[in-house]
Amino acid sequence: MSLSTATINRSTVNEKMMKTLKSVFNKVTNTLILPAVGIAIFLVLWSITASSIHTSLGEFPGPNAVVKQFSALYDEHNTEREKAEAFYDRQDLRNAKKLEKKPDYVVKTRAYTGKETFFDQILTSLITVTSGFLVAAFIAIPLGIWMGLSAKLNSAINPIVQIFKPVSPLAWLPLVTMIVSALYVSDDPMVSKSFLTSLITVSLCSLWPMVINTSIGVSSIDSDLLNVSKVLRLPTFTHIKKIVLPASIPMIFTGMRLSFGVAWMVLIAAEMLAQNPGLGKFVWDEFQNGSSDSLARIMAAVVVIGFIGFLLDRIMLALQRKVSWDKSSVSV
């Protein structure tokens, strides 16, 4: 009798262990092994297809060629940096000498005007997309809140939003370029015209998802919560701060994440077409360059663009987690 219960106990213990092992295994499979398998299959298919496509610029680059170009781009960046440093060193030296000879000499420093490397272009693109997005958010969120609060304003503005929402950035670009050149005239500009053009184009396109989601979020707040605010006679500003904003934060963030994605896509297209500095210009320059490495370098840019887009979304998600009171509403 006792023997059999012991065996039963042992077998249940074994079962339990098997179960936990299984769940751990499942977790590892889902988060590590399966994505790795997917990527591996993609890489194999890529290299097989790539080797069978012959373009006027040579064979289409496979994964190997792209990795090689990555390190080439990195080396170029380092060489360029060294050159820049050397330039500034020379300039400082020269200025110091001049000052020695002539103490009242006004020191002139000139910026290094070498070619922008791949990594410089990434930085430029990131700065442009963030500024464009922030400008859009500063307009869109207050406007969305206002539209959500007032049904009348919503009916007045909604048609405009619906019409401008599907407009491609490429249609805006020529107009924005002309307006910027006409209106932004200054001898000592704070930012370059091309930066401003990209920024405005990005803002124009990323405005709409934020406006729509914010206004929906605000207009769908539980009427009981609004009644609480009415009974307390909260002044408008307190009402927005204490009730409206916290209640609609999840929808606002959904809009912001959509907008950031749109902004990143729009930016690359805008840079390409308008020859504004950034990753888009890098792609276009490489295409025009037409060397045997060009396609591999473009492909490297494509991978980087994808990764940055993914990272930006993750950053927004992390921000949402930090700000939102309802952690369960934050989903990947």
Partner 1 sequence: MTITTANTMTNTASKITADNKKMTKEEAFLNISKIDMAFPTPTGSFTALKDVDLQIKKGEFISLIGHSGCGKSTVLNIVAGIYQATKGGILLKNKEVNEPGPERAVVFQNHSLLPWLTSFQNVQLAVDQVFSKTMSKSEKKEWIEHNLKLVHMDHAMHKRPDEISGGMKQRVGIARALAMQPEVLLMDEPFGALDALTRAHMQDSLMEIQKELNNTVIMITHDVDEAVLLSDRIVMMTNGPEATIGEILDVNLPHPRNRLALAENPEYNRLRSAVLTFLYEKQRKVEVIPTAKTTEKADIEQQKNNVA
Stretch that binds partner 1, among 184-192, 201-209, 233-241, 309-317 (CB under 8 A): 233-241
Closest approach of Cβ 244 to partner 1, in Å? 11
Closest approach of Cβ 217 to partner 1, in Å? 14
Binding residue for partner 1, selected from 103, 233, 237, 322, defined by CB under 8 A:
233
Give the relative orientation of helices 245-274 and 169-183 as an angle to the nearest 10 degrees: 80
Closest approach of Cβ 325 to partner 1, in Å? 3
Q: Is 232 in the site for partner 1 (CB under 8 A)?
A: yes
Binding residue for partner 1, selected from 234, 269, 317, 319, defined by CB under 8 A:
234
Closest approach of Cβ 243 to partner 1, in Å? 7
Q: Is 231 in the site for partner 1 (CB under 8 A)?
A: yes
Maximal C-alpha separation, the chain: 108
Binding residue for partner 1, selected from 58, 63, 246, 261, defined by CB under 8 A:
246
| Burial tier of 308 (Cβ tally within 10 Å: 0-12, 13-18, 19+) | middle
How many residues would you count in the chain? 332
Rounded distance, CA 250 to CA 97, Å? 61
Q: Is 171 in the site for partner 1 (CB under 8 A)?
A: no
The amino acid that residue 175 corresponds to is L
Binding residue for partner 1, selected from 227, 236, 275, 291, defined by CB under 8 A:
227
Do residues 137 and 184 make contact, with C-beta atoms less than 8 angstroms apart? no
Nearer to partner 1, 73 or 247 (CB): 247
User: Can you give 148-210 as a three-state secondary structure string?
Assistant: HHCHHHHHHHHHHHHHHCCCCHHHHHHHHHHHHHHHCCCCCCCCCHHHHHHHHHHHHHHHHHH
Do residues 176 and 204 make contact, with C-beta atoms less than 8 angstroms apart? yes
Residues lying near partner 1 in the complex (CB under 8 A): 222, 224-225, 227-228, 230-234, 238, 242-243, 246-247, 325-326
